[in-house]
A and B are shown apart, each in its own frame.
Chain A
Amino acid sequence: MTITEEKKGRTAETLEEATIRFAGDSGDGMQLTGGQFTNATAIVGNDLSTLPDYPAEIRAPAGTLAGVSAFQIHFSSKEIHTPGDYLDVLVAMNPAALKANLKDLKSGGMLIVNTNAFTETNLKKAGYDKNPLESDLNQKYQVFAIEISRLTQLAIEEMKLPGKVVDRSKNLFALGLMYWLYTRPMEPTIEWLKKKFSSDPTILEANLKVLKAGYHFGETTETFISNYEIKHAKIQPGKYRNITGNEATALGLITSAQLTGLTVFLGSYPITPASDILHELSKYKHFGIRTFQAEDEIAAIGSALGASFAGGLGVTTTSGPGVCLKSEFIGLAVKTELPLLICDIQRGGPSTGLPTKTEQADLLQALFGRNSESPLPVLAAATPGDCFETLIEAVRIAIKYMTPVFFLSDGYLANGSEPWKIPLVNELPKLDVNFRKDKEGFLPYLRNKETLARSWAIPGTPELEHVLTGIETEQNTGKICYDPTNHDTMMKLRAQRIEQISNDIPDITQHFGESKGDLLILGWGSTLGSINAATEKLLEKGYKVANAHLRYLNPFPKNLESFLKNYKKVLIPEINLGQLRMLIRAKYLINAQGFNIISGHPLKVSAILEAAEKLLKS
């Protein structure tokens, strides 16, 4: 490595974008480090996208591959869509982190390692026969072997703190160093540390020293040729905050309580990766939110449905395995035509699968995972921030059409983050709720002619007493009815009332590209970012392509068929084995092709690009 003569006054080199990853042991504070770097990056005004990746085990043995935790962030002076395919910088705090993450580092990329952690024991735990730092890694990467642990210790040596403290703060050294490398301000982290350790001035002082030591190490030593600057991105004017999908979902529910004037009742049972929504909402007891941690997934949805019957907005949050347990109740909600929100934060499956990894393989479960015909609307969020808007739209449909609604998010959206333009309260949709009060002509299943929704008559309202049941009931009266013709009528009516919601949702249009062309890339859910980025690249290459994204998976937008037929070919990338593709083929007899990788991670832009080019050339 060449070392520049000039030490001070080096100017930062301007880059358009960078993707970096902090990786270490679960106990090394990598999620926290990444979170701090994200805040500082947001404040600089870059567009950004993050991808936390942590083990399912709470305390996997330290130093092992199973215990590696990582946080990736992609930031740019341009609009970006994904957390990035490959890394410009990998910070590896121990051998296991190196082993698990090196494959994603671009050749020529920077590898920053904490050499002090490369002990014989750690190497063995990571499954290395010999120290990889002594091999030819530097042929392929720019290796920066830094004694992070020792430098941390030196920074606070005179404070005479126990070794534990030194060990726990070494991540701040790495963070400080990365702040210097990418010219980020340290102030937000300094403020955060001051708040966090307000009651422990010694630890605060130590942490501040280590953070600054990392920064100064970059600045004063000649380890790095230069540092980098990434100018702020031109994004839509407005006020922003950084938000994860789970935070946006929780905010969407809080906002729904305000917009509808209903008490939101969240019945939930802890499950990864949905629990954060329960945690977040539990703080809002003073804000129209009642949360109930039920004894199981079934009680969670049962209580939510009971709440809806009694005039609350029933919500249940879960992941795929929880949906399995809830399915009988979802059927009851379909049959009794009560509003109910089922939030499925999808994760890797089947069975317990990969709890902390992402997947979008619950689509068919949401649509069909119940006995008999039990249709309901299904909506999916496309980005962390979009969880907010999609959730409110799901609530709108649930109360307007008196139906349970599936809201699909996934592990990547749940924990990933992006800058979110904070909506203005007066620009949020109006959500009116009209409980039935009038006894004149009341029948439990008499329908509004336009929406086909029955009225919501809640216990406590005089003279509207009625009984809901899962047994088939007569049209209008809601009385138990085993008549064959009535059953046929009701089956078709239940299907029709969901299908006709398509009159009340926007048409689908393309995100990038023209309204006609050789290829359409159609997606749904969290793949939007990767598909957008791939489409932009294809357009740059001169292909006649476009991409479109479905928020409404049931019913589909009314123009979907004609829209799809404007393109010669359709490619549907999904993190499943082709579930949307199956629906599109079945419904429209279109020969859509799939691109399916189910690795627990978001789809890579480059992989979609390759698949699209292959299809275009075939």
Chain B
Amino acid sequence: MAITEPQKYTKADFESENDVRWCPGCGDYAILSAIQTVMPTLGIPKEKFVFVSGIGCSSRFPHYMSCYGFHTIHGRALTVATGVKSINPELSVWVITGDGDGLSIGGNHLMHAIRRNQDLKILLFNNKIYGLTKGQYSPTSELGKKTKSTPYGSIDNPVNPVSIAIASGATFVARTLDKNVKHMIEIFKKAAAHKGIAFIEIYQNCLVFNDDAFKDFTEKDIKDDHSVYIEDSKPLIFGKNSDKAIKLNGFSPEIINSSNGNSREILTYNEKTEDRGLSYVIGQMGVENPDLPVAFGVLRSVEQPTYQERLLEQERLAKEKSKKVSLEQILNAGDTWIVK
């Protein structure tokens, strides 16, 4: 990607003139602001950014950026983004989706865009609810969740977005949350620098239909005991007083005391681990078993050729190998005969 005048833009250059219409206090505002903060730092000409979204509260996002954007149909943003990036691999393509859009109606595309290592950045706003349709349960809503469509409680097991991404072979997987702007910015920058698919789950509070869904990770007194922030190649230590740590007992993470000479047992997490099983175990922490903390940060970041690289390479080889043919030759191929 051509790098030109990295300091040319400010945050304001990425703000659109459209009124932002999310509910006041919605977590989406912080995410928008974090993205607008990151964009000018990437050294990419503004016209090369494309924001593609599906349908849902989060999918209004492209309207609030001043970049090229395509607000498509429910669940299908990744398909459109695939076409955009495949026609012009020079573009920096960002996909905005939610837990309903990306995991329910669009679940199929998520798996396939990821396994192909499409060079796209996916921001999945997970608020564990359907906001735009006014409060039905979503694929990430917890079992027993009471909503308009589940007055007796949900009987569906929820999915864990990062687990799906890891299982599909995502080359970059991270989790962050709307209330931690600094962390979001750091993760978005890492995602932008990553070559290939980048999947980011963002815990996002929907204060109208699912307020406090993530309060364990945002409220001052309790958040430190419920979250562990991954720092590359550092031991997984957490807790209000940094007194807790994660150790692996076989495939099962356990909480141990971080002091007491336990340091050898503490799991040191390497973002670049090729071990998908380990990323899965850490990504799953706290989601099924609330006794464990939820991991925020980069769960996986590995290098692989992207779909677009493979596409261009195949074209290059085809051009190299096949004789130069003209349209006329193609039209006249095969058995022909002349009628006089």
Contact = CB atoms under 8 A, between A and B. Distances in A.
Name the 10 nearest CB pairs between A and B, nearest first: A306-B83, A302-B79, A467-B69, A306-B80, A303-B83, A307-B83, A312-B87, A469-B71, A295-B112, A285-B318
Given A310-B84, A422-B332, A425-B331, A236 B339 contact: yes
Interface stretch (A198-206, A251-259, A352-360, A507-515): A251-259
Contact of A302 (B46, B82, B319): B82
A441 interface: no
Given A255-B331, A479-B18, A237 B47 contact: no
B335 interface: yes
A462 B325 CA distance: 35
Contact of A241 (B16, B80, B112, B335): B335
A434 B276 CA distance: 47
Contact of A265 (B66, B71, B87): B87
Main secondary structure of the interface of A (DSSP, over half): mixed
B84 A459 contact: yes
A286 B79 contact: no
A304 interface: yes
15 contacts: A43-B337, A238-B339, A240-B337, A241-B332, A241-B336, A251-B330, A267-B83, A295-B108, A298-B109, A302-B109, A303-B82, A303-B83, A422-B336, A465-B68, A479-B18
Given A295-B109, A465-B67, A305 B331 contact: no
A258 B132 CA distance: 45
Given A303-B79, A310-B85, A465-B68, 7 more contacts: A287-B325, A295-B111, A299-B108, A306-B52, A309-B84, A310-B91, A460-B88
B48 interface: yes
Contacts of A465: 46-47, 66-69
Contacts of B262: none
Contacts of B50: 310, 459
Contacts of B80: 302-303, 305-306, 309
Contacts of B326: 425
Given A302-B79, A306-B52, A290 B73 contact: no
A461 B71 CA distance: 19
Interface string B74-97: 001011111111111011000000
Contacts of A302: 72, 76, 78-80, 82-83, 109
B311 interface: yes
A117 to B, nearest CB: 31
Contacts of A460: 47-48, 88, 90-91
Contacts of B79: 267, 294, 298-303, 306
A311 interface: yes
Contacts of B81: 306
B334 A241 contact: yes
A543 B72 CA distance: 56
Given A239-B337, A422-B336, A469-B63, A307 B84 contact: yes
A398 B85 CA distance: 22
A292 B82 contact: yes
B100 interface: no
Contacts of B48: 459-460
B339 A292 contact: no
A290 B319 contact: no
Contacts of B41: none
Which residue, A188, A296, A301, A425, has most C-beta atoms of chain B within 10 A? A425
Nearest to A251: B331
Contacts of A258: 327
Contacts of B243: none
Contacts of B325: 287
Contacts of A251: 330-331
B73 to A, nearest CB: 5
Interface residues of B, number: 59
Given A329-B76, A463-B47, A465-B68, A240 B338 contact: yes
Interface in B23-65: 45-48, 50-52, 62-63, 65
A459 B68 contact: yes
A429 interface: no
Interface in B305-323: 311, 314-315, 318-319, 322
Given A265-B83, A309-B83, A310-B83, A242 B335 contact: yes
Interface string A43-83: 10100000000000000000000000000000000000000
Given A254-B327, A306-B52, A459 B63 contact: no
Interface of B: 16, 18, 45-48, 50-52, 62-63, 65-73, 76, 78-88, 90-91, 108-109, 111-112, 311, 314-315, 318-319, 322, 325-328, 330-340
A312 B87 CA distance: 6
A236 B90 CA distance: 48
Nearest to B314: A285
Contacts of B85: 306, 310
A467 B91 contact: no
A298 to B, nearest CB: 6
Nearest to A39: B335
Given A242-B335, A303-B80, A306-B81, A290 B87 contact: yes
A258 B331 CA distance: 12
A208 B166 CA distance: 56
A235 interface: yes
Contacts of B66: 465
A285 B47 contact: no
B330 A471 contact: no
B338 A287 contact: no
Contacts of A235: 339
A458 B88 CA distance: 10
A459 B62 CA distance: 13
Interface in A321-370: 328-329, 331-332, 336
A467 B84 contact: no
A241 B334 CA distance: 7
A140 interface: no
A242 B334 CA distance: 9
B82 A309 contact: no
Interface string A442-468: 000000000000000011111111111
B109 A459 contact: no
Contacts of A42: 335, 337
Contacts of B90: 460
Most buried by B among A242, A292, A299: A299
Interface string A168-188: 000000000000000000001
A310 B87 contact: yes
B68 A467 contact: yes
Contacts of A268: none
A108 interface: no
A479 B69 CA distance: 12
